Amino acid sequence: MTEEDTGGHKAPPVSSMKMVSKTVSNEQMKQNNENKILTKNRSLSQMKKREELAAYLFLSPYLISALVFTIGLLAFAFYISLNRWNIFTLPKFAGFTNYIKTFKSPDFLRSLLNVFWYSLVVVSFQTAIAILLAVILNKPVPGSSLFRTLFYAPSVTSSVVISMIFWWLYLKTGFLNLAIGKLLGVLHVAWKNIDWLNDPRGLFQLIAGLFGKKIPYSKWYFTGPSITWMAIMFQAIYTTSPTFMIMFLAALQNIPPSLYESASIDGASPWKQFTRITLPLLRPIIMMVVVLGTIGTLQLFDYVKIMTSGGPLGTTLVPVYLIYRETLGTEGPIRAGYGAAMAFILAAIIFIFTYLQRRFIERGTEHYF
Amino acid sequence: MKKIFVLLPTLAFVLSVSVAFAGGKQEQKPSAETTTVSKGAQPTSFTKIPVESKATIVFSGWGDQTEQKIYRDSIVRFNKIYPEVKVDYQPIPADFQTKIKAMVAGGTAPDVFYVDDQLMTALGMTGQLLPLDDYMKAANVSRKDFIVELLKIFTYKGKTYGLPKDWGTLGLVYLPETLEAAGVPEPNDNWNWDDLFNAAKKIASNTKFAGFVQNADWARFAPWAFEAGGSYTNSDYTKATLDTPEIKKAASYILNMKKAGALVTSSDVGASWAGEAIGKKVVAMTYEGGWMVNFMRQNYPDVKWKAAKVVKGLNGKRSDVIFTNAIGIISSTKYPKASAAFTIFVTSRENQAEIVKTGFAYSTHPDQIDLVQDPNDKQIAAGGLVGRVAYWGPNTGKINDQVSKALERIYLGAQTVDESFAEANKKVNEILSGQ
């Protein structure tokens, strides 16, 4: 309601009052009503404003912290990425040199390739295994709650404990080599112990080796993920699959049983039911699991820091570990600007991946609901 | 192996020694001795400097319970001389360097703390540490009072930013029974590369033990490289010197030993590091340091082991690698004088003589090397006299990493010695040129 509206309803001139007494009284009533509405509207708009203010007040603790600690820090990090900064003295403006340096750095490019393999393998396997486990546990078989607990146990175990257990399993004289050796021994095949956490031989190198070809280590982009890297991937899949299994389990329990009932009346086999009912209806959850998994894997840090420090021969180097190394100067001078530039490039890559995944997986989901 | 070096400070140079107190005051009771020191009646080299009144300083270092006790005791001794200074000891047992850097950036750094090569690069070269020279002068302490080599890391543009608190080096650690089983005499001072090679080969082929254990590790490789006349960089740390005949000679020797079956890695024999391989009695010899004493005592008390000096090079010269840490002061401290007094006291002859008594560390004063009594310790510590500090300027960590990687490639047979060190040389030069 504006002032113009109120001005248009001023009282008519006195001379014409008698002639139009009825109309006047009608108009007065109308005006009174309108005035009432206006007042009501005004108080409504005031109330609305007050409400908005209250809402902002209630939101302010979060908004302020988001402004300072999320947006503020992002802006600060971006500013730093354009500077040379040792975190103690004043930053020196450097333009986009840090970004250019990042793209030229063989370490960074290598870490991207490493994390690409990691993401591809871990996300695919953990999603598939999680669906499989969830489908199995969703059947009302005796003891399913026990298995649910057992399968979920790795997810609630501390990552340090998991790392220690795997570290022992992976020793050159550890259980894994022993088990494989014994197993192959039965088949009279000799097994040479592998130093799982310190073996840079790449997957493609090994395959090429079978055909008598050799891929040198200097051509790191052709060697494929190393044995050590694959060992860590296995550990990650083992630890994270159960978490996602729980999500799938919850989603499965939301699928109306009537769909399966009618499908079975129509003569659909269990496999058909799985591919035509279960999987399509799980699509939103699959999409969420894949996106969360991709973001998580691209940000991998802890296993690398605890188990390999990026070795052997840089085959487990990941971007976040490099960012940590440069920003805190663990092996040389502190280069926070360079670290920040790497972080922004990584963020951009994560954004692109997530966007593409949404485009491909989310497409068509809504048809089912 | 790199991880072992992260652990080293915590395992810390624990040595079992009994020592004589500097100046022959061993028979004095501690209380009487410190009182006299504070009254200045006893002959002592220690000079008290004037400090701020009511000073409270925060002191931080890494280390386990043993190390923490050593420094709590040092604070008690310090307070007997400087009762007016309150020292608040706040140990940071894990991620020390990272935490200190964050604290310095946030303006909450301790006044006095341990400084290693990483912190020297981050803080000393950016003006965050207090130059100690004026305070040393006031306390009659000269750089010459310390083993000069140790000060190399902590000196920048002619100023001293940290006083070395202890140091370590490598020796030839071995299990006598394994040598006996192979009919090899125990190592002596005249052993050279060939003697070690032959002994390791004989043990590996004639007994159930492996001969010599060494991982692809820049630190354990350093004595070989130095003895061959090599160095990782030139003297002003501006150019890599890894693609040289000297370095390649050392690397070829290691590779030949490996090819001959005389050298294994710790993981080959199911150990996480060489010391553990000795403890588990699966290998005859290795190059390790003074930390072995405490490690063996705590984990393998029944295993009889011995130590000798690192073997001589083929030219008859012996060389060793030195690791050291210092104590430094944050430049923004409110109490520079009290902090300096504490730093100078903790690293002084008087205090270090007491620390050596506990078997914790070697003294950083050249005239106190003899305080080491245990024969094994003495052999290892002797490396300090012919040692070079493992420091190649601000990029030391990255350079060391490249050397380890070059060795790893050779160990794997992925590259020849020439190829591998040519690649390392190129990468180190890229690092040094700031790429």
Which segment of A60-74, A252-266, B332-346, B361-375 scores lowest on mean pLDDT? B361-375
Do residues B133 and B145 touch, judged by C-beta distance below 8 A? no
Residues in A closer than 8 angstroms to B405, CB to CB, are 311, 313-314
A-chain CB neighbours of B269 within 8 Å are: 173
Query: Which helix (H) or strand (E) segment is B171 a member of?
Result: strand B163-174
Reply yes or no on whether the pLDDT at A249 is more than 50. yes
Domain boundary among B358, B378, B398: B378
Q: Which residue has the higher pLDDT, B44 or A204?
A: A204
Q: Clarify whether residues B145 and B267 are in a common domain.
A: no
Indicate whether A41 pLDDT > 80.
no
Q: Does the distance separating the beta carbons of A173 and B414 come in below 8 Å?
A: no
- What pLDDT is attached to residue A363? 64
Within 13 Å, how many C-alpha atoms sit on residue B19's CB side? Answer: 29
- Determine the residue type at B221: F
pLDDT tens, A307-365? Answer: 888 878 889 999 999 999 999 988 888 999 999 999 999 999 999 988 888 887 766 55
Q: What length is written for chain A?
A: 369
Could you tell me if B266 and B415 lie in one domain?
A: yes
Residues B413 and B300 in one domain: yes
Q: Residue B428: its pLDDT value, please?
A: 95
State whether B128 and B44 are in the same domain: yes
In a domain, B64, yes or no: yes
Nearest to B397 among A101, A174, A330 (CB): A330
Summarize pLDDT for A279-309 with one digit per residue, the tens.
Answer: 989 988 998 899 999 999 999 998 898 888 8
With a cut of 60, say whether residue A70 has pLDDT above it.
yes
Q: Show the tokens assigned to A176.
A: 């894994």
Question: Is the domain of B162 the same as that of B93?
Answer: yes
The verdict on B290 and B409 lying in the same domain is yes
Q: Which of B3, B122, B269 sits opposite A329 (nearest CB)?
A: B122
Which domain-ending residue is among B378, B400, B423? B378
pLDDT band at A22 (very low <50, low <70, confident <90, very high): low
Query: Taking 50 as the threshold, does the pLDDT of residue A214 lie above it?
Result: yes
Kindly state whether residues B136 and B185 are assigned to the same domain: no
pLDDT in tens, B230-269: 999 998 899 999 999 999 999 999 999 999 999 999 988 9
Q: Which of A88, A313, A333 sits opposite B409 (nearest CB)?
A: A313
CB of B6 within 8 Å of any CB in chain A?
no
Flag whether pLDDT at A14 surpasses 60. no
**List of residues 6+ apart from B172 with CB closer than 8 A:** B187, B191, B196, B285, B286, B287, B307, B308, B309, B310, B311, B379
Determine the pLDDT at residue B81.
93
B431 touches chain A (CB under 8 A): yes
Dihedral sign, Cα of residue B104, residue B107, residue B108, residue B113: positive
Across A195-216, average pLDDT: 89
How far does the CA of residue B77 sit from the closest CA of chain A (Å)?
34
B213: which strand partners? B264, B286
Mean pLDDT for each consecutive 10-residue tract of chain B (435 residues)?
A: 39 32 31 33 65 94 88 94 95 92 94 94 93 95 91 94 94 95 93 95 94 95 95 93 96 96 91 93 94 88 94 92 95 96 95 84 87 84 86 91 93 90 94 81
Q: Are the C-beta atoms of B17 and B373 separated by less than 8 Å?
A: yes
CATH of the domain at B424: 3.40.190.10
pLDDT surpassing 60 at residue A3 = no
Reported for B296-300, long-range contacts at CB under 8 A and 24+ positions apart, including other chains, are B297/B16
Per the CB < 8 Å rule, is B268 touching A172? yes
In a domain, B383, yes or no: no
- Phi-psi region at B130: left, alpha or beta (left = phi > 0; alpha = psi -120 to 50): beta
Across the strands, what pairs with B330?
B129
Contact yes or no for B2 and A334 at CB 8 A? no
Residue A16 in this model has a pLDDT that exceeds 70: no
Question: Which domain range does residue B106 map to?
Answer: 2-168+324-378
Instruction: Report the mean per-residue pLDDT for chain A.
Output: 85
From chain B, the residues in CB contact with A104 under 8 A are 435
Q: How far off is chain B from A304, nearest CA to CA, in Å? A: 13
**Same domain, yes or no, for B275 and B421?**
yes
Residues B199 and B86 in one domain: no
Beta-carbon contacts below 8 Å between A and B: 80
- Please tell me whether residues B230 and B364 are part of one structural domain: no
**More reliable by pLDDT, A331 or A96:** A96
DSSP A83: E
Inter-chain CB proximity A331 and B398 less than 8 Å: yes
Domain ranges of chain A: 3-81, 105-368
User: Is B20 within the bounds of a domain?
Assistant: yes
Which two tokens mark B117? 């090569």
Q: Domain count of chain B? A: 2
A328 CA: distance to closest CA in chain B (Å): 7
A247: tokens are: 């999500």
Interface test with B, best of A88, A89, A98 (most B CBs within 10 A): A88
State the Cα–Cα distance between residues A105 and A111, nearest whole angstrom.
10
Could you tell me if the ipTM is greater than 0.95? Answer: no
Confidence of residue A148 (pLDDT cuts 50, 70, 90): confident
Q: Are residues B163 and B185 in the same domain?
A: no
CATH of range A105-368; options 3.90.1150.10, 1.20.120.430, 3.40.50.720, 1.10.3720.10: 1.10.3720.10
Q: Where are the alpha helices (DSSP H) in A66-96?
A: 73-81
Residues B416 and B286 in one domain: yes
**Is B329 in a helix, a strand, or coil?**
strand
